[in-house]
């Protein structure tokens, strides 16, 4: 799990990160950590219930991985689903892309 490309852009350079301990369980819709950037601070929310199997220790040495490579090297936690049935409630990558496109077209600057 990690952050979206859009979120890392909104945060700007990541300056601090807090992640859970390995073995922690987190319920869907709740925070599993925090990330601070120059522009904003965010809670990292899990969309499904998880058990944390591994944290990305590389982030503590180079937090900019969240900005430079959010989908490959900038991941935050490696997890096991504790309620796999919750996956049915998630939107698809295409639906996410369409929501992002809609968000861009409704901003005041786009009118």
CATH number, residue 33: 2.40.50.100
* Residue 102 located in a structural domain: no
* Residue 111 located in a structural domain: no
| Mean per-residue pLDDT over the chain, rounded | 87
How many domains is the chain built from?
1
pLDDT confidence bin for 106, thresholds 50/70/90: low
pLDDT of 34-88, one tens digit each? 988 888 888 999 999 999 999 999 999 998 888 888 888 999 999 999 999 999 9
* Residue 106 located in a structural domain: no
* Residue 96 located in a structural domain: no
DSSP secondary structure of 69-104: -TTTT---EEEEES-GGGGGGSPPHHHHHHHHHHHH
- Structural domain range at position 61: 5-85
The pTM is what? 0.80
And the tokens for 83? 């309620």
Give the residue from 26, 33, 7, 36 showing the smallest Cα distance to 79. Answer: 26
* Residue 90 located in a structural domain: no
């Amino acid at each position: 799990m990690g952050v979206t490309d859009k979120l890392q852009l909104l945060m700007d350079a990541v300056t601090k990160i807090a992640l859970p301990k390995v073995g922690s369980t987190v319920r869907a819709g709740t925070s599993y950590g925090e990330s601070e950037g120059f522009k904003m601070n965010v809670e990292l929310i899990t969309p499904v219930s998880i058990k944390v199997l591994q944290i990305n220790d590389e982030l503590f040495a180079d937090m900019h991985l969240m900005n430079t490579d959010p989908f490959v090297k900038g991941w935050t936690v490696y997890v096991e689903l504790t309620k796999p049935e919750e996956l049915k409630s998630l939107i698809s990558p295409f639906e996410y892309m369409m929501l992002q496109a809609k968000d861009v077209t409704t901003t005041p600057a786009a009118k």
